[in-house]
Structure 1
Amino acid sequence: MAKKQQTQQYVQAIQNRKARFEFEILDTLVAGIQLFGSEVKSVRLGQASLSDSFAIILRNEIWLEGMQITPYAHNRMELIEAKRSRKLLLHKEEIRKIEAKISEKGLTLVPLKAFFNSKGLLKIELAIAKGKKLYDKRETIKARENQRQMEQIKKQY
Protein backbone atom coordinates (compact mmCIF):
# COMPACT_ATOMS: atom_id res chain seq x y z
CA MET A 1 0.00 0.00 0.00
CA ALA A 2 1.24 3.44 -0.84
CA LYS A 3 1.36 6.03 1.89
CA LYS A 4 -0.58 9.23 1.38
CA GLN A 5 1.69 12.17 0.94
CA GLN A 6 1.05 14.93 3.47
CA THR A 7 0.60 18.38 2.00
CA GLN A 8 1.37 21.44 4.05
CA GLN A 9 -1.63 23.53 4.99
CA TYR A 10 -1.31 27.22 4.19
CA VAL A 11 -2.71 29.88 6.50
CA GLN A 12 -5.20 32.42 5.12
CA ALA A 13 -4.51 35.19 7.66
CA ILE A 14 -2.52 35.85 10.82
CA GLN A 15 -4.48 37.91 13.34
CA ASN A 16 -3.41 40.15 16.20
CA ARG A 17 -6.30 39.28 18.53
CA LYS A 18 -4.83 41.25 21.42
CA ALA A 19 -4.94 44.53 19.47
CA ARG A 20 -8.73 44.80 19.35
CA PHE A 21 -8.90 44.28 23.11
CA GLU A 22 -6.05 46.65 24.02
CA PHE A 23 -6.90 49.46 21.57
CA GLU A 24 -9.93 51.35 20.29
CA ILE A 25 -9.74 51.17 16.49
CA LEU A 26 -10.38 54.54 14.80
CA ASP A 27 -9.37 53.87 11.18
CA THR A 28 -7.85 51.02 9.15
CA LEU A 29 -5.69 50.82 6.04
CA VAL A 30 -3.87 48.12 4.07
CA ALA A 31 -0.14 48.23 3.27
CA GLY A 32 2.31 45.99 1.51
CA ILE A 33 5.37 44.67 3.33
CA GLN A 34 8.94 44.17 2.16
CA LEU A 35 10.11 40.60 2.91
CA PHE A 36 12.73 38.09 1.79
CA GLY A 37 11.57 34.98 -0.07
CA SER A 38 12.14 32.61 2.82
CA GLU A 39 10.10 34.88 5.11
CA VAL A 40 7.12 34.66 2.75
CA LYS A 41 7.34 30.86 2.87
CA SER A 42 7.32 30.94 6.67
CA VAL A 43 4.29 33.24 6.76
CA ARG A 44 2.43 30.95 4.32
CA LEU A 45 3.04 28.09 6.76
CA GLY A 46 1.66 30.21 9.63
CA GLN A 47 4.99 30.66 11.41
CA ALA A 48 4.46 34.34 12.13
CA SER A 49 3.03 36.40 14.98
CA LEU A 50 1.79 39.98 15.16
CA SER A 51 1.38 40.12 18.94
CA ASP A 52 3.45 42.89 20.56
CA SER A 53 4.15 44.47 17.17
CA PHE A 54 3.66 48.11 16.23
CA ALA A 55 4.45 50.49 13.37
CA ILE A 56 6.54 53.65 13.52
CA ILE A 57 7.28 56.46 11.07
CA LEU A 58 10.98 57.17 10.44
CA ARG A 59 12.28 59.48 7.66
CA ASN A 60 8.92 59.47 5.83
CA GLU A 61 8.77 55.66 5.81
CA ILE A 62 6.64 53.33 7.91
CA TRP A 63 8.44 50.44 9.63
CA LEU A 64 6.86 47.43 11.32
CA GLU A 65 8.62 46.54 14.57
CA GLY A 66 8.30 43.38 16.64
CA MET A 67 6.67 41.10 14.05
CA GLN A 68 7.95 37.58 14.68
CA ILE A 69 8.62 35.45 11.58
CA THR A 70 10.28 32.14 12.39
CA PRO A 71 13.11 31.38 9.93
CA TYR A 72 12.15 28.92 7.18
CA ALA A 73 13.53 25.46 7.99
CA HIS A 74 14.77 24.65 4.45
CA ASN A 75 16.49 27.98 3.83
CA ARG A 76 20.03 27.53 2.52
CA MET A 77 20.85 31.22 2.39
CA GLU A 78 21.96 33.29 5.39
CA LEU A 79 19.80 33.22 8.49
CA ILE A 80 17.37 36.12 8.82
CA GLU A 81 16.65 37.67 12.19
CA ALA A 82 13.16 36.72 13.42
CA LYS A 83 12.14 40.12 14.87
CA ARG A 84 13.89 42.50 12.47
CA SER A 85 12.35 45.80 11.33
CA ARG A 86 10.35 45.45 8.13
CA LYS A 87 9.45 48.28 5.77
CA LEU A 88 5.77 48.83 4.94
CA LEU A 89 4.99 49.92 1.41
CA LEU A 90 2.68 52.93 1.08
CA HIS A 91 2.51 56.01 -1.13
CA LYS A 92 4.07 59.22 0.23
CA GLU A 93 0.69 60.97 0.33
CA GLU A 94 -0.77 58.15 2.44
CA ILE A 95 2.20 58.32 4.81
CA ARG A 96 1.73 62.09 5.21
CA LYS A 97 -1.97 61.65 6.02
CA ILE A 98 -1.18 58.93 8.56
CA GLU A 99 1.55 61.04 10.14
CA ALA A 100 -0.89 63.96 10.53
CA LYS A 101 -3.44 61.71 12.27
CA ILE A 102 -0.84 60.05 14.49
CA SER A 103 0.56 63.38 15.66
CA GLU A 104 -2.59 63.73 17.78
CA LYS A 105 -2.10 62.79 21.41
CA GLY A 106 -2.39 59.11 22.26
CA LEU A 107 -2.77 57.65 18.77
CA THR A 108 -0.62 54.83 17.43
CA LEU A 109 -0.29 52.46 14.46
CA VAL A 110 -1.10 48.84 15.28
CA PRO A 111 -1.09 45.88 12.85
CA LEU A 112 -4.38 43.94 13.01
CA LYS A 113 -3.72 41.10 10.57
CA ALA A 114 -1.44 39.82 7.84
CA PHE A 115 -3.08 38.20 4.83
CA PHE A 116 -2.41 37.22 1.22
CA ASN A 117 -4.41 39.10 -1.42
CA SER A 118 -5.81 37.56 -4.60
CA LYS A 119 -2.46 38.04 -6.41
CA GLY A 120 -0.59 36.17 -3.66
CA LEU A 121 1.09 39.22 -2.14
CA LEU A 122 1.37 39.58 1.63
CA LYS A 123 -0.51 42.59 2.98
CA ILE A 124 -0.71 44.05 6.48
CA GLU A 125 -3.91 45.63 7.80
CA LEU A 126 -2.92 48.57 9.99
CA ALA A 127 -5.13 50.46 12.39
CA ILE A 128 -4.87 53.96 13.72
CA ALA A 129 -5.79 53.26 17.31
CA LYS A 130 -6.09 54.80 20.74
CA GLY A 131 -5.20 52.83 23.87
CA LYS A 132 -8.09 51.71 26.06
CA LYS A 133 -8.30 52.42 29.76
CA LEU A 134 -8.89 49.64 32.26
CA TYR A 135 -12.59 50.48 32.64
CA ASP A 136 -13.02 50.34 28.85
CA LYS A 137 -11.54 46.83 28.84
CA ARG A 138 -13.94 45.79 31.60
CA GLU A 139 -16.88 47.07 29.55
CA THR A 140 -15.64 45.06 26.56
CA ILE A 141 -15.47 41.88 28.65
CA LYS A 142 -18.93 42.53 30.10
CA ALA A 143 -20.46 43.08 26.65
CA ARG A 144 -18.82 39.90 25.33
CA GLU A 145 -20.15 37.84 28.24
CA ASN A 146 -23.67 39.28 27.79
CA GLN A 147 -23.53 38.40 24.10
CA ARG A 148 -22.53 34.80 24.90
CA GLN A 149 -25.39 34.46 27.37
CA MET A 150 -27.87 35.75 24.79
CA GLU A 151 -26.55 33.24 22.23
CA GLN A 152 -26.94 30.38 24.74
CA ILE A 153 -30.52 31.43 25.56
CA LYS A 154 -31.37 31.58 21.83
CA LYS A 155 -30.00 28.06 21.34
CA GLN A 156 -32.19 26.70 24.13
CA TYR A 157 -35.41 28.02 22.56
Structure 2
Amino acid sequence: MANNILTKLAKVDEQLFLSVFNDASPNWLRRSAIGLSKTGDGGLYLMLFVGFWWFSEQLHFQQFALSLLVGFAIERPIYFLAKKRIARVRPCDCLVQGAYLVPSDKFSLPSGHSAGAFVVATILTMYFPAFMAVWFIWAAGVAASRVVVGVHYPADVIVGAVIGSSCAVLAVMVVEYI
Protein backbone atom coordinates (compact mmCIF):
# COMPACT_ATOMS: atom_id res chain seq x y z
CA MET A 1 0.00 0.00 0.00
CA ALA A 2 2.69 2.51 1.03
CA ASN A 3 4.81 1.53 -1.96
CA ASN A 4 1.82 2.10 -4.24
CA ILE A 5 1.30 5.58 -2.79
CA LEU A 6 4.98 6.44 -3.25
CA THR A 7 4.86 5.23 -6.85
CA LYS A 8 1.84 7.42 -7.55
CA LEU A 9 3.51 10.42 -5.88
CA ALA A 10 6.63 9.87 -7.99
CA LYS A 11 4.50 9.84 -11.16
CA VAL A 12 2.77 13.08 -10.14
CA ASP A 13 6.18 14.59 -9.40
CA GLU A 14 7.44 13.55 -12.85
CA GLN A 15 4.39 15.04 -14.55
CA LEU A 16 4.80 18.31 -12.64
CA PHE A 17 8.46 18.39 -13.64
CA LEU A 18 7.60 17.81 -17.30
CA SER A 19 5.01 20.58 -17.22
CA VAL A 20 7.66 23.05 -16.00
CA PHE A 21 10.77 21.86 -17.85
CA ASN A 22 10.13 21.78 -21.57
CA ASP A 23 11.45 23.13 -24.83
CA ALA A 24 8.53 25.57 -25.06
CA SER A 25 9.93 27.69 -22.22
CA PRO A 26 10.80 31.17 -23.46
CA ASN A 27 14.47 32.16 -23.44
CA TRP A 28 13.88 34.93 -20.87
CA LEU A 29 12.51 32.31 -18.43
CA ARG A 30 15.48 30.01 -18.96
CA ARG A 31 17.99 32.86 -18.50
CA SER A 32 16.15 34.18 -15.46
CA ALA A 33 16.05 30.72 -13.90
CA ILE A 34 19.77 30.21 -14.48
CA GLY A 35 20.56 33.58 -12.90
CA LEU A 36 18.26 33.00 -9.94
CA SER A 37 19.68 29.53 -9.43
CA LYS A 38 23.20 30.95 -9.31
CA THR A 39 22.19 33.30 -6.45
CA GLY A 40 21.83 30.11 -4.40
CA ASP A 41 25.42 29.02 -5.07
CA GLY A 42 26.73 30.79 -1.95
CA GLY A 43 28.23 34.07 -3.18
CA LEU A 44 25.08 36.03 -2.34
CA TYR A 45 25.16 34.60 1.19
CA LEU A 46 28.60 36.10 1.68
CA MET A 47 27.46 39.46 0.30
CA LEU A 48 24.45 39.46 2.66
CA PHE A 49 26.71 38.57 5.56
CA VAL A 50 29.06 41.48 4.83
CA GLY A 51 26.17 43.87 4.12
CA PHE A 52 24.41 43.13 7.38
CA TRP A 53 27.71 43.31 9.26
CA TRP A 54 28.17 46.81 7.86
CA PHE A 55 24.67 48.09 8.62
CA SER A 56 23.62 46.20 11.78
CA GLU A 57 24.13 46.68 15.48
CA GLN A 58 27.06 44.62 16.72
CA LEU A 59 25.14 42.28 19.06
CA HIS A 60 22.27 41.84 16.61
CA PHE A 61 24.74 41.00 13.83
CA GLN A 62 26.66 38.53 15.99
CA GLN A 63 23.47 36.62 16.78
CA PHE A 64 22.43 36.75 13.13
CA ALA A 65 25.85 35.55 11.93
CA LEU A 66 26.02 32.79 14.53
CA SER A 67 22.49 31.68 13.59
CA LEU A 68 23.55 31.41 9.94
CA LEU A 69 26.64 29.40 10.86
CA VAL A 70 24.70 27.07 13.15
CA GLY A 71 21.91 26.78 10.58
CA PHE A 72 24.30 25.61 7.89
CA ALA A 73 26.18 23.41 10.39
CA ILE A 74 22.89 21.58 11.04
CA GLU A 75 21.54 21.65 7.46
CA ARG A 76 24.61 20.57 5.46
CA PRO A 77 25.12 17.15 7.16
CA ILE A 78 21.39 16.38 6.94
CA TYR A 79 21.41 17.36 3.27
CA PHE A 80 24.47 15.24 2.43
CA LEU A 81 23.24 12.19 4.37
CA ALA A 82 19.75 12.39 2.84
CA LYS A 83 21.14 12.87 -0.67
CA LYS A 84 23.37 9.78 -0.41
CA ARG A 85 20.79 7.66 1.39
CA ILE A 86 17.84 8.45 -0.89
CA ALA A 87 19.96 8.50 -4.09
CA ARG A 88 17.18 9.74 -6.37
CA VAL A 89 18.51 10.13 -9.89
CA ARG A 90 18.15 13.64 -11.31
CA PRO A 91 15.46 14.18 -13.94
CA CYS A 92 18.06 15.43 -16.42
CA ASP A 93 19.77 12.02 -16.16
CA CYS A 94 16.74 9.75 -16.51
CA LEU A 95 13.65 11.61 -17.71
CA VAL A 96 14.83 14.30 -20.11
CA GLN A 97 18.01 15.45 -21.79
CA GLY A 98 19.50 18.89 -21.89
CA ALA A 99 19.33 20.53 -18.47
CA TYR A 100 20.28 24.21 -18.66
CA LEU A 101 22.87 23.79 -15.89
CA VAL A 102 25.33 21.03 -15.11
CA PRO A 103 24.54 19.73 -11.62
CA SER A 104 27.35 19.33 -9.11
CA ASP A 105 26.39 15.74 -8.27
CA LYS A 106 24.22 12.93 -9.61
CA PHE A 107 21.39 12.81 -7.06
CA SER A 108 18.45 15.16 -6.73
CA LEU A 109 16.62 14.64 -3.41
CA PRO A 110 16.79 16.92 -1.48
CA SER A 111 17.71 20.11 -3.31
CA GLY A 112 20.72 21.70 -1.63
CA HIS A 113 20.09 25.06 -3.29
CA SER A 114 16.55 25.08 -1.90
CA ALA A 115 17.69 24.01 1.56
CA GLY A 116 20.41 26.67 1.66
CA ALA A 117 18.13 29.42 0.36
CA PHE A 118 15.49 28.59 2.96
CA VAL A 119 18.08 28.52 5.77
CA VAL A 120 19.05 32.04 4.77
CA ALA A 121 15.50 33.31 4.14
CA THR A 122 14.17 31.93 7.42
CA ILE A 123 17.02 33.34 9.50
CA LEU A 124 16.81 36.68 7.72
CA THR A 125 13.08 36.75 8.47
CA MET A 126 13.65 36.00 12.14
CA TYR A 127 16.16 38.85 12.49
CA PHE A 128 14.80 41.28 9.89
CA PRO A 129 11.06 40.52 9.66
CA ALA A 130 10.15 43.73 7.81
CA PHE A 131 11.55 42.17 4.61
CA MET A 132 10.01 38.72 5.05
CA ALA A 133 8.27 38.78 1.66
CA VAL A 134 11.53 39.64 -0.11
CA TRP A 135 13.46 36.84 1.63
CA PHE A 136 10.86 34.15 0.92
CA ILE A 137 10.11 35.25 -2.65
CA TRP A 138 13.83 35.00 -3.36
CA ALA A 139 14.14 31.57 -1.69
CA ALA A 140 11.06 30.27 -3.52
CA GLY A 141 12.55 31.63 -6.74
CA VAL A 142 15.81 29.78 -6.15
CA ALA A 143 13.86 26.59 -5.46
CA ALA A 144 11.60 26.95 -8.51
CA SER A 145 14.56 27.78 -10.72
CA ARG A 146 16.09 24.39 -9.98
CA VAL A 147 13.06 22.73 -11.58
CA VAL A 148 12.98 25.17 -14.50
CA VAL A 149 16.65 24.49 -15.32
CA GLY A 150 15.98 20.75 -15.29
CA VAL A 151 18.06 19.47 -12.37
CA HIS A 152 15.34 18.81 -9.75
CA TYR A 153 11.84 17.47 -9.43
CA PRO A 154 9.30 19.65 -7.56
CA ALA A 155 9.36 17.30 -4.54
CA ASP A 156 13.15 17.75 -4.29
CA VAL A 157 12.84 21.49 -3.81
CA ILE A 158 9.89 21.18 -1.41
CA VAL A 159 11.82 18.75 0.78
CA GLY A 160 14.88 21.03 0.57
CA ALA A 161 12.79 24.02 1.65
CA VAL A 162 11.38 22.12 4.63
CA ILE A 163 14.84 20.94 5.69
CA GLY A 164 16.32 24.43 5.33
CA SER A 165 13.52 26.20 7.18
CA SER A 166 13.50 23.64 9.99
CA CYS A 167 17.27 23.83 10.45
CA ALA A 168 17.09 27.63 10.51
CA VAL A 169 14.43 27.69 13.23
CA LEU A 170 16.42 25.18 15.27
CA ALA A 171 19.60 27.24 14.79
CA VAL A 172 17.96 30.45 16.02
CA MET A 173 16.58 28.59 19.05
CA VAL A 174 20.06 27.23 19.82
CA VAL A 175 21.69 30.66 19.45
CA GLU A 176 19.07 32.31 21.67
CA TYR A 177 19.61 29.60 24.31
CA ILE A 178 23.41 30.16 24.38
Normalised to the residue count of structure 2, the TM-score between the two structures is 0.22
Greater share of residues in helix:
2
TM-score (norm. length: structure 1): 0.24
